[in-house]
Amino acid sequence: MANSGAQSKVTPLHANASAAADTLQQKIAARTAVVSVIGLGYVGLPLMLGFAGAGFPVLGLDLDQDKLKNIRAKKTYIKHITDEMVENALAKSKKVEVDADLAAVARADVIIICLPTPLTKHRDPDLSYIERTAEAIAPHIKRGQLVILESTTWPGTTREVMIPILETSGLKSAQDFFTAFSPEREDPGNPDFNTHTIPKVVGGDGAHATQLADALYSSFIDKTVVVSSPDTAEAVKLTENIFRSINIALVNELKVIYDAMGIDVWEVIDAAATKPFGFMPFYPGPGLGGHCIPIDPFYLTWKAREFELNTKFIELAGEIIANMPRYVVGKLAEGLSTRFQKSLAGSKILLIGMAYKKNVDDMRETPALKIIELLEKRGAVTEYHDTWIPQIPATREHPEYTGRASVNIDAKSLAAYDAIVIVTDHSNVDYDFISKHAKLVVDTRNAMSACDPANVIKA
């Protein structure tokens, strides 16, 4: 456990809270505390399985009946989590329950909220999922419970938004119940890290809440990192993703500059990465996807306005990244024109990859949808191939693509496309085969580095 020296904005200890905290601490130590997880998606399901595997009784809550049905059958609905992983974890739990009724939190000792925090169309934070959930569970909060928010958000959300809603129950945080923030750090599909091995940051509203959250996560996570307040823990998550966003934007800008100079940015990065100090490699692409990096930095941008401060780096990075799909489409249009004297209008284009990153079935904020939009606005006909995403689900920004299905590829079908655009470099794709049979390939991920480059354009 590591401690932070940051200034604290926590609620002071209250004498009435000590007995309740001691009771819950004992339940956590004995692994009899019922842990409820609200939101069983890419964050919530692994977390629920982690607590189940550690021997806790678990209660999974989600409005999606298909997810609940799968869990009852000990089946997965996320591809990088196997049926065996679900079955093994649930077999170790003292008790497993799932429910769609949030009133069931009354049966829990710990409530962990893992819900999305998207942006509005004006890039303002949308906390509606958190607010509605807090409103729904407030009447069922009981003394001695620990409530933890894991959803990424702006510093102050736990204290300024969630706690006041929960206190409409008549109970008080740090006195009657305990509240903390612990940012999720899931990286779906990463074989090197999982929920157990990624250090867990925790910051509570008061010392009791912090100690309880620390004890809870320490029960199955290798290392916890305690900070002084929920605000600090919220800021940690934003800082991590802003760091990545700015550096990814930087290498994308370098990609454009070096391409104009005839220099391969991938070769530059790989060579620079041999320096054993002072450099960390980041890689360009067609834009950013996933729930974190394209969204989280703007939560701090929004909050900074309250203090009359500008976030120039953050907004510039967002602007660069947002322009990457247009850059890719421009490189494609240029390639079709110079090589075949053909325009995008009427061209048949195949996208390889719909997921936002390789080897996952997650397409939240994927740049592939923006690329399709830009291509079709210019008259191109588009299809996609992605065995991880057999069908495009409903999305907030592009509901018109709902139901489009992945197409199969072979030598004949590849040759029928005017161009192939590699958006996601899944490991189960034969890129050499594509290179041999495609007329033109626009590679946004350096997936064709080992193939014949004659018909490949890097973008």
- Enzyme catalytic residues: 292
Give CA–CA dist 236/300, Å, rounded: 11
Q: Which stretch of DSSP H or E encloses residue 202?
A: strand 200-204
Q: Which amino acid is at 62?
A: D
The tokens for 217 are 């996560």
Q: In this structure, what are the phi and psi dihedrals at residue 275, rounded to the nearest 5 degrees? A: -70, 125
- Dihedral over alpha carbons 164, 28, 2, 209 (to 10 degrees): 20
10 Å Cβ neighbour count for 106?
14
The gap between the terminal CA atoms of the chain, to the nearest Å, is 44
Spatial distance between the Cα atoms of 387 and 347, rounded to a whole number of angstroms = 24
The H-or-E segment that residue 22 falls in is helix 17-30
Closest CA to 203 of 216, 195, 193, 213: 213
Closest CA to 366 of 350, 386, 382: 386
Q: Tokens at residue 17, please?
A: 């809270």
Q: Which two tokens stand for residue 171?
A: 């109970």
Q: Which two tokens stand for residue 49?
A: 């399985």
The rounded distance, in Å, linking the Cα atoms of 64 and 66 is: 5
**If 0-12 CB within 10 Å is exposed, 13-18 middle and 19+ buried, where does residue 1 land?**
exposed
Token pair listed for 28 = 């956590």
Query: Buried (b) or exposed (e) across 73-100, using 16+ Cβ within 10 A?
Result: ebebbbbbbeeebbeebbeebeebbbee
Q: Rounded to whole angstroms, how far apart are CA atoms 224 and 216?
A: 10
- What's the token pair of residue 262? 């005839």
Q: What six digits make up the tokens of 89?
A: 């974890």
Helix residue spans in 31-76 (DSSP H): 44-53, 65-72
The residue behind tokens 């102050």 is 156
CA 454 to chain centre: 36
